[in-house]
């Protein structure tokens, strides 16, 4: 079976946040468990969206829904390791795109994991996928980043 490979352009990361591995995140093999890594990726995604003023669910019932998640692990992380989550977006389409993650341990510059989370805009009241709002796309156009 072919192994999953994730690689992202350096210039597409827009945000970073640090999270600390808790003792309760450790599995029976004495390293960060897959379930806890997924929770940390979700927290990094929520912080990223909040930073850019994107509600996960708006008053009108629209929001973002995760469609898939792919993660590749490169190194173990242990209790009390501080991890840096660099977050970006790419591969936009009419309805959504991908949120990307590079997770490193700054203490020793180790790449711990890479991840990609697909998303679409969704109207929870209507239970249907909706078009990506133009203002969302505009937040992540490189022209907006030139000062």
The whole-angstrom separation of Cα 127 and Cα 28 is 39
Contact 136, 119 (CB under 8 A): no
Nearest to 140 by CA among 103, 90, 83: 90
Residue 125 pLDDT? 92
Q: Which domain holds residue 18?
A: 10-138
Nearest to 116 by CA among 35, 3, 5, 2: 5
Q: What is the CATH number of the domain that holds 60?
A: 3.10.129.10
Residue 2 pLDDT? 60
Query: What is the total count of domains within the chain?
Result: 1
Which phi and psi (to 5°) does residue 53 adopt?
A: 70, 30
23: in domain: yes
CB-based burial of residue 23 (10 Å sphere; 0-12 exposed, 13-18 middle, 19+ buried)? Answer: exposed
70: in domain: yes
**10-residue stretch averages of pLDDT, the chain, 147 residues long:** 77 92 95 96 96 86 93 96 96 95 97 97 94 91 49
27: in domain: yes
From residue 103, give the alpha-carbon distance in Å to each of 48, 95, 96, 144: 14, 26, 23, 25
110: in domain: yes
4: in domain: no
């Amino acid at each position: 079976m072919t192994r999953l490979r994730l690689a992202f352009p350096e210039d597409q990361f827009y945000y970073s946040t640090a999270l600390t591995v808790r003792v309760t995140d450790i599995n029976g093999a004495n390293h960060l468990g897959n379930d806890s890594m997924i929770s940390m990726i979700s927290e990094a995604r929520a912080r990223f969206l909040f930073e850019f003023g994107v509600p996960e669910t708006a008053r009108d019932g629209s929001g973002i829904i995760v469609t898939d998640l792919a993660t590749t692990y490169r190194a173990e992380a242990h209790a009390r390791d501080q991890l840096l989550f660099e977050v970006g977006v790419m591969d936009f389409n009419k309805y959504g795109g991908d949120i990307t993650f590079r997770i490193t341990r700054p203490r020793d510059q180790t790449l711990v994991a890479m991840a990609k989370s697909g998303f679409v805009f969704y109207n929870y009241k209507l239970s249907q996928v909706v078009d990506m709002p133009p203002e969302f796309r505009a937040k992540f156009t490189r022209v907006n980043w030139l000062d």
